[in-house]
Each structure stands twice: as C-alpha cells, then as structure tokens.
Structure 1
Amino acid sequence: MARRYCYNDVAPLIAMVTAVCTNVGVNILFKEATSKGMNQYIFITYSYVVAALVLLPLSFIFPRFLAQICAYKGIAYSSPTLASAISNLGPAFTFILAVLFRFLLTLKLKKMENRFECST
C-alpha cells in the first residue's frame, strides 16, 4: 500500500520539482555564461550534448531547439529571475485561455480518501 502511494502521488511531485529546479539552474548558468562572453548558440549546443548523453531517447522525441533559442535570447535581454517567473505562469495562461474559449472544468469537491475528483 505504501509503495503504491509513493508511485502514484510522490514520484510525479518529485519529478516536477526536479524539472523546475533544473530549469532554474540552467537559466542562471546561461546568464552567467553569456555575461562572461559565451555565445548563446554555443551554450545551447553544450546543453544539447549533455542532454543527449543523459537522456538520449527523449531528446529525439521532444524537439525544442527553437523554443530554447527564443527562451535564452529572452534571458540575455532580461534576467534568469524573470525567465523562471514566466515559466511558472504556464498554468495561469492555460486558465485564461480556457476561460476565453469557454472550456471550463467542473470540480466535484467530495472527499474520497483525501483526494479531490475533477471531471470535464
């Protein structure tokens, strides 16, 4: 029972926190490297080499090269703090688009083993 709880509830949370912390760390590393004269395209190349060595299969499934170029160019014009804050606004933008397109979720807030149920 405890193992099932860990896989269903804790593992996705740990994966999400790890991904966000890695993203913030790379943003800070990028800002420091470019402020000392490193070209942004070289940094992206290095990050893809590391990603290919660590996560080779996933780098071919999710191509995000253009998105990273735009994100790093934005960091070069502003700060890693702003980039991290903007990346955390994704759920807010999703909610605003859902309201605009009238795609709202109805929440059934009944208590069922300390979990909330959501239906469309």
Structure 2
Amino acid sequence: MWFYTRAMAILYAYSRFIPHFLMILVQIGYSFLYFLAEAAFSHGMSPHVFVTYRYIVGGLVMFPLAYFLERKVRPKLTLVLFLEIFVLSLLGASLTVNIYFASLRYTSPTFITSMTNTVPSMTFIIAIMLRLEIVNLRNPRGIAKIVGTLLSLAGVLTITLYKGPEVQSLQSAPIHIKSNASQQNWVKGTILLVVSCITWSLWFIMQV
C-alpha cells in the first residue's frame, strides 16, 4: 500500500511538471539546432534554403499526426481562419525564422541563444502596450514579472557588451565552427536578431 501511494504521488508530480520538462527539452533542442545551423552555414548553405528544407521535413512529419489525431476536432476552414493562418505563418514562421537564421551568419550561436531569451520579455512589454497584460505591483506575481523582465534584459546586455577571451573547441569535437569575415558584422546581425525577436513576440500575441 505504501509503494502504491508513493508511486501515485510520483506520477502526479511528474504529470504536474510535464510542461516544464517539455520546455527544457525544447530549449535543449534549440541549442543543438543553433550549432547545426551554424555548421551548415559555414559550409556554404543559404539560410533560406535551410529554412525551406526545415519546413518541408516538419510538414511531412506533422501532417499524418494532424490528419489522424485532429481530423474530428479541427474547426471548419473559413476564409477568415485561412487569412489568420496565413498571417501567422508569414509572421511567425517565414519572416521570423528567415531573419533569425540570417542573423546567425553575422553573430554566433551563443549570442543567438542569449538574445532569444528576451522574447518573453518583449512579449510581456508589447502585451502591456497593447493592454493585453495588466501588471499589479501589489501582487507578488506582478513584481516577479517585472523583475524577471529586467533581469533578462540585463543579462542580454551583459553578454552583448562584454567581450571576454576567445574560447575554442577541443580538437576531438565532432563539429568545429570557424568564424569568418562576415561573422564579425555584429551590428548587422544584432539588428536582424532584434527584428526577429520582435516579430516572434508579435506572433505569440497574435495567436492569443
């Protein structure tokens, strides 16, 4: 009886934190994606070709799941719904990702990873400007949102402005990323990345 109770408690705790585990796995997957994309770009692949291949493969993988699992629950495709899907795809998928990977050619995977952490902060700020989010300074949650936003922005500014010693990979590493002349254009890369983060934030808000 004790073992059954203990097992049920573990399963309940696990089911409760499944979204958190999935968020961690997504971030780990994104980290590997940055390095693989940078390695592909270093060998001459165009970011736009990379994005095209990515969505072709993703569409082929997701189509059977969407067709068989959500065939009976998806809403009827109207003109308004089609236009909403088109705008979301154009803003969040095509425009954001193309600018995003284009900025990777001028910066580095580490800088990309740190800058994308500002997407929640930008989403929060834009939502406040559009009056979709209400901040209550008397509530601990409201204070935590503001403090988290400020810490996120401060961390990105620190990584952006601080130039420490160069770190090189080991000789036995499976992937070696070599910086090139175009990768030193941090201003252009930073501008592209900021635009990508803003469109990404707008994409989240438009989904709501």
Structure 2 match to 1:112: none
Higher-strand-fraction structure? 1
Structure 1 match to 2:54: 47
Give 1:7's match in structure 2, choosing from 1, 7, 15: 15
2:29 equivalent to 1:22: yes
TM-score (norm 1): 0.70
Alignment of 1:89-104 (within 5 A): 89-94=118-123, 103-104=134-135
Please give the alpha-carbon distance, in whole angstroms, between the structure 2 residues aligned to 1:6 and 1:49: 34
Give 1:80's match in structure 2, choosing from 94, 109, 128: 109
Where structure 1 has 5 or more consecutive residues not aligned to the other structure, the ranges are: 109-120
Bigger mean CA deviation after superposition, 69-78 or 95-104: 95-104
> Whose radius of gyration is greater, 1 or 2?
2
Amino acid at match of 1:12: P
Shift of 1:38: 0.7
Provide, for residues 19-47 of structure 1, a one-character-per-residue CA deviation record: whole Å limited to 9, x for no partner.
11111211111111111111111111121
Please give the alpha-carbon distance, in whole angstroms, between the structure 1 residues aligned to 2:44 and 2:127: 42
Alignment of 1:47-66 (within 5 A): 47-56=54-63, 57=66, 63=89, 64-66=93-95
Please give the alpha-carbon distance, in whole angstroms, between the structure 1 residues aligned to 2:127 and 2:94: 27
Provide the alpha-carbon RMSD of the alignment.
2.6
TM-score (norm 2): 0.43
Contact 1:98/1:104 (<8 A) preserved: no
Count of residue correspondences: 104
